[in-house]
Amino acid sequence: MAQLSDLEYLKLSKGKKFGYRLGHFFTGIPKGIGRFFLKIWEGLKKCGAAVGREAADIVNTFVHGDWKTKLSYLVMGFGCLARGQILRGILFLLFEVVFIGYMILSGGYWLSMLPSLGKTGPSKEYNELLDVYVTKYNDNSFQILLYGVLTIFFIIAFIYTWRLNIRQNKIAEKILASGKKLKSGKEDLRSIVDDQFHKTLLALPMTGIIVFTLLPILFMVLVAFTNYDGTHNGYTNSLFTWVGLDNFNTMLSWSGGAGGTQSYAATFGEVLLWTLIWAFFATFTNYFLGMFVAMAINKKGIRFKKGWRTILVLTIAIPQFISLLYVSKMFAKNGIINGFLMDMGWITQAIDFFGDASRPWLARITVIVINIWIGIPYLMLITTGILMNIPADLYESAKIDGASGWKQYTKITLPYMLFVTGPYLLTSFTGNMNNFNVIYLLTGGAPTNAAASSASGSVGYTDLLITWLFKITTGAESQYYMASVIGILVFVVVALVSLIVYNVMPSTRNEEDFR
């Protein structure tokens, strides 16, 4: 594809510009991949150089340092203590004591068990006193995996702190050599609310994120490489262990399951396709209709503007599960909608909106329509503010030039809106891909896809990847490893979509259009 100059690019029509960017994105993929690996290689080189520098610095500090510094290599914080920085010294020393104690008492055990995830499972032992067999629990694969990962985290933290302790010594020596005074404990405390204030503020939130998000996600990524499920829960029934890439092979294999059912790969493909279709329609129907409602309310000469808005906004306040569950029952076979339609004489037989497996698209379209009902108030709110920000003189000059209402919309309103809300559309698209509540509370995935049911958790035609994942973990077999595989694939899809959209989005190139 030919590379255009900036001037030529600007001459293109809107559609051609988009096509140009899209084409360039795809033709640029090989180059991009090459650049990606080049970047990794450069990053590795940089990393290596940094490690080398650090090592050299550590050795240098040792060779040139005084005896206080040298002893600090073994007893962390000794240099600080000897130089009068009691607070820092005690903290360093305390950390070392805790670390060594932990490694001896339990860390070593977890680490040594990590490669096998436990050796002896629960066993039956004969109890002579009671004359019965008692189950004895031994290793716990779940804890081994969890604490193994935690121990690795801890070791990394220790190495970092040890390095910090050495750097502290070097800096302290330098300061003392230049004849200045070291910071006292009081000054250290003051820096917590002053020049180190950002670390204080971030401490609590980041701890929460690391412990409750990062660690669990790492753990679940590792689970995808094990056979952890309901029958191998690692403690009470049977240990689980590493299985390599087996689960990914199952997920991506095309061979069918027992009883003439589909393969995992076919089911995954189907669900993924529907997930993408759903995300697309859920995002854009809401976006355009929400914008339309906002424009209708904004229009000159419309009365009770505030009243209309309040009615719509109030529906946001009602917890979604109530409205979703209630609406799903309204569409039930004996629900209000069918009752109304039959009273009117428009239909003679109740329509089974969510249960008819022979008409999966009926359920799918109904879900998208109900989602419009859910989403419009929110989109109306967001777009109202932006619409009011469009400079009025743009419209006035357009009117003088004789532009029709439609022309004004496509040439002024829409480009402006797309430009400003581009990032929002992206997050809303990926958010809809993972929109568990709407699907699960409305249909629960129904109607059931009989052919796909071998893939555990019984998949339905309106199931998204995320609801499928949930069903697997709560199903009879609880194949957690399969849920993890799906989770990882969801991540890959979301990351890919974000990458593509980010490269094609006008906001990244036409930044000056509306300045």
* Interaction residues for another protein, span 456-495 (CB under 8 A): 466, 469-470, 473, 480, 483-484, 487, 490-491, 494-495
Residue 43 within binding range of another protein, rule CB under 8 A: no
Beta carbon nearer to another protein, 97 or 336: 336
Beta carbon nearer to another protein, 248 or 424: 424
Beta carbon nearer to another protein, 175 or 330: 330
Stretch that binds another protein, among 43-51, 87-95, 109-117, 375-383 (CB under 8 A): 375-383
Distances (CA, A) of 71 to 63, 82, 159, 165, 320: 12, 10, 17, 11, 62
Place of tokens 């005690």: 90
Residues numbered 123 to 142 that lie near another protein (CB under 8 A) are 142
Q: Which of these, 293, 235, 270, 286, lies nearest to 454 by C-alpha position? A: 270
Pairwise CA distance, residues 394 & 409, whole Å = 11
Backbone dihedral region of 391: left (phi > 0), alpha (psi from -120 to 50 degrees) or beta?
Answer: beta
Residue 347 within binding range of another protein, rule CB under 8 A: no
Residues numbered 387 to 426 that lie near another protein (CB under 8 A) are 420-421, 423-424
Interface residue with another protein among 7, 129, 130, 204 (CB under 8 A) is: 204
Those residues with Cβ within 8 angstroms of residue 162's Cβ, 6 or more apart along the chain or in another chain: 76
Residue 384 within binding range of another protein, rule CB under 8 A: yes
Residue 320 within binding range of another protein, rule CB under 8 A: yes
Q: Which of these, 172, 176, 192, 157, lies nearest to 77 by C-alpha position? A: 172
Residues numbered 150 to 189 that lie near another protein (CB under 8 A) are none
Residue 114 within binding range of another protein, rule CB under 8 A: no
Contact between 151 and 107 under an 8 Å Cβ cutoff? The reply is yes
Interface residue with another protein among 381, 398, 403, 500 (CB under 8 A) is: 381
Pairwise CA distance, residues 436 & 45, whole Å = 42
Residue 322 within binding range of another protein, rule CB under 8 A: yes
H-helix or E-strand spanning residue 265: helix 264-298
Residue 434 within binding range of another protein, rule CB under 8 A: yes
Residues numbered 54 to 73 that lie near another protein (CB under 8 A) are none
CB of 332 to another protein, least distance (A): 7
Residue 326 within binding range of another protein, rule CB under 8 A: yes
φ/ψ of residue 125, rounded to 5: -125, 140
Interface residue with another protein among 32, 122, 269, 335 (CB under 8 A) is: 335
Contact between 449 and 459 under an 8 Å Cβ cutoff? The reply is yes
Interface residue with another protein among 198, 255, 344, 476 (CB under 8 A) is: 198
Residue 37 within binding range of another protein, rule CB under 8 A: no
Residue 98 within binding range of another protein, rule CB under 8 A: no
Encoded amino acid at 181, one letter: K
Distances (CA, A) of 214 to 217, 239, 431: 5, 25, 19
Residues numbered 217 to 256 that lie near another protein (CB under 8 A) are 217, 219-220, 223
Task: Measure the CA angle with vertex 358, ends 355 and 362; round to 5°.
Answer: 65
